[in-house]
Copies of this chain bind each other. A is one copy, B any other.
């Protein structure tokens, strides 16, 4: 038997016996890779107050960045932030640009079909901006589910999708806007009874006196449409998933994420002049 022939046999045998793609993906856990390389590559996309660049220093700061650094300091490895855009965030993670998507990613099922969510750090709710006088006498989010109510939401946003699911009886005014708070104008003009926005945005925007002069939060303490939010990794690496889940459990047991949100919300209001 010639050497070329032996090589052919070996190649064929190896090919026949090779595990499937699913199994191959598990051959080295990112946990082992990070341990041996000393570096954790973290994809992030800009979003305040979770992860954004400090206007003064250009450094990444925010709640999620602090959580990444808490982890890497404890692991004695270096974080390496890889900036990505939101529309390619899932792709960037899947093709291996990083070991972890370390920005705040809200849960939805289509995204979860592609990437593996780490145990969430919390859940982001939404709320409504209404007129201060509350002319429709709204008391709970359920009151929005009425054909006498018109809701404003950014077309295609999470609030838009949630409104259709939770308030099927309401009329929905789906708007295009360059800044999401522009939809509050529809409430001011009387085109809508309530504008649906992330609860954080509602709080920030109402802390500006000229907004609070005419508008109010519809349901204080009653956020709705909660979306668990946190990190994500690729499928096929359960060791890495378990390691990060356990860290997230420690964060929860110590209220670390809540404390960081309080801290950043107090200092990063983008609507404050």
Contact = CB atoms under 8 A, between A and B. Distances in A.
Contact-residue size bin, chain A (C-beta under 8 Å from the other chain):
35 or more
A9 interface: yes
Contacts of A10: 9, 12-13, 16
Given A23-B23, A109-B75, A235 B239 contact: yes
A247 B26 contact: no
A87 interface: no
B235 A113 contact: no
A22 B32 contact: yes
A211 interface: no
A121 B134 CA distance: 36
A228 B250 contact: yes
Interface string A97-121: 0000000000111101100110110
A71 B112 CA distance: 11
A76 to B, nearest CB: 7
A12 B9 CA distance: 10
A10 B18 CA distance: 12
A62 B193 CA distance: 34
19 contacts: A1-B5, A9-B10, A14-B17, A17-B18, A19-B27, A31-B235, A74-B108, A74-B109, A75-B110, A107-B250, A109-B247, A116-B239, A116-B242, A117-B242, A120-B253, A123-B253, A227-B250, A227-B253, A235-B239
